[in-house]
Homo-oligomer: A and B are copies of this chain.
Amino acid sequence: MRHNFGAGPCILPQEVFKQASQAVLDFKDGLSILEISHRTPEFEAVVEEAVKLVKELLNVPEGYSVLFLQGGASLQFAMVPMNLLNEGQTASYLETGVWANKAIKEVKNFGTANVVASSKDANFTYIPKDYSIPEDSTYFHFTSNNTIYGTELMTVPVTKVPVVCDMSSDILSRVIDVSQYDLIYAGSQKNIGPAGSTVVIIKDSILGKTTNKIPSMLDYKQHIDGGSMYNTPPVFAIYVAMLNLRWLKSKGGVAEIEKENIAKAKALYTEIDRNPLFKGTCAVEDRSRMNICFVMENPELEKPFLKFAEENGMEGIKGHRSVGGFRASVYNALPITSVHALVELMQEFAEKHQK
C-alpha cells in the first residue's frame, strides 16, 4: 500500500485514475481522449462541465469568468501585471515565500512591485500580519498557501484595492467567498487535476484598463471570448480535471472536503505536537492544512525516519531542501487513512528511538 504525500503533482482519487485510463483507450465510439478533436461536441461538453463545476463548487458569483489555460502559476505571474498594470503604476505584494517572490520579480517588466511585508527574515515560517496596503495600489497580490514552508492565509486581507490571489495549492480545499477576490489563479496539479492546465477565475470588470500591448495568448479577454478554446486546449488535462471536479461534487463539495481536510491536518499536527521526537516548523496560527512541515528534535534521526517511512509505503514526504525535515502534503484526494498510517509510523519510530 502506497501513501502519496507528494507536494504536487499529487495524488488524485483512484476512481479518477480508472476513468481517465479507460478514456485513453475509449472516450467515444472507440476513439481515445488523446485523439479526439477539441471541436467535437463531446469535448466541448467536457470543457463546459469543467467550467460549470468550478463555478458551482466555489459558488462563483455573476460577473466572473472561469478559464482553463496553460503555463501554470508561473505564466500567471506575468499575465497578471501584463493585463492589469500600466507602466508607472504600482501593485502591492505580500512576500510569503519563493513563489510569492517569483510573482514579485515578474512585475518589473510592466510596472512597480511594492512589497508590503515579508517573512523572509524567518525563512517564511509565518504569515506577516501588521502591514498596510497603499490605497493607490493597482491591485494587491498574495499567495494563499505556501507549499514549501507549510503556511496558509485563510482570510483575505482587508483592502479597498482589487485582490489577486495565487491559490495553486489550496483552491477547492476550503470554502471561500469568491466575491472578495478580483482574480484567482491556480496551477491545476494539486486539487484540480493533473499537471498541464491552469485555472483562472476573473472578475470581468477589472479587465480592459491597461494600455499594455498584450499578445493574444496572454490576454484574458481573448480566452474569455474563446471559452478557454482560443487555441487547442490541453484536452486530456482538462478532461481529468473535470472527472476530479465531479468526484469532489459527489463527495458533497468543498464544505464537506474541508471537514475532512481539517480532520486530516488535526490528526497529523496533534501527533507532531505530542510526539517528543518531532516538531512543527511554522507559527502555529499560520499552519497550512495542505502541506504539513515538520522536523525532528534530533536531526540525526531524520535520515533513519525517512528510510523507515519510505520502506513502509510513504511517498513524497521528504521536506523541500530550503526547509529540510519532512513535508506531508494532505490534499483533497489523500484519504485520512494515509494520515493515520503516517501517525502510526511516527509513534512506532518514537517507541524504538525514545530511550
List residues of chain A with CB under 8 Å of any chain B CB. Answer: 2, 4, 6-12, 17-18, 20-22, 24-25, 29-32, 34-38, 70-75, 77-78, 82, 102, 105-106, 108-109, 187, 189, 194-196, 213-218, 230-237, 240, 315-316
12 interchain pairs, CB-CB under 8 A: A6-B36, A6-B37, A17-B32, A31-B315, A70-B72, A70-B234, A71-B71, A72-B217, A194-B236, A195-B233, A195-B236, A196-B235
This chain: how many copies in the complex? 2
Output the nearest chain B residue to A188 by Cβ-Cβ distance: B232
**Would you call A195 and B232 a contact (CB within 8 A)?**
yes
**Would you call A12 and B25 a contact (CB within 8 A)?**
no
Main secondary structure of the interface of A (DSSP, over half): loop
Output the nearest chain B residue to A230 by Cβ-Cβ distance: B74
**Would you call A232 and B189 a contact (CB within 8 A)?**
yes
Contact of A20 among B34, B75, B77 (CB under 8 A): B34
**Would you call B20 and A105 a contact (CB within 8 A)?**
no
Distance A216 CA – B71 CA, assembled complex (angstroms): 11
Shortest distance between the CB of A61 and any CB in chain B (Å): 29
Given known A-B contacts A82-B215, A234-B234, A235-B9, A195 and B38 have beta carbons under 8 A apart: yes
Distance A217 CA – B37 CA, assembled complex (angstroms): 27
**Would you call B74 and A217 a contact (CB within 8 A)?**
yes
**Would you call B18 and A35 a contact (CB within 8 A)?**
no
**Would you call A215 and B34 a contact (CB within 8 A)?**
no
Given known A-B contacts A37-B316, A38-B195, A216-B105, A232 and B10 have beta carbons under 8 A apart: no
A106: chain B residues at CB < 8 Å are 215-216
Distance A247 CA – B4 CA, assembled complex (angstroms): 31
**Would you call A71 and B217 a contact (CB within 8 A)?**
yes
Shortest distance between the CB of A109 and any CB in chain B (Å): 4
A37: chain B residues at CB < 8 Å are 6-9, 316
**Would you call A35 and B7 a contact (CB within 8 A)?**
no
Give me 15 other A-B pairs in contact (C-beta within 8 A), A7-B37, A196-B234 excluded: A6-B37, A9-B35, A9-B36, A9-B37, A9-B38, A17-B24, A72-B231, A75-B215, A78-B215, A102-B216, A187-B232, A194-B236, A195-B233, A234-B234, A234-B237
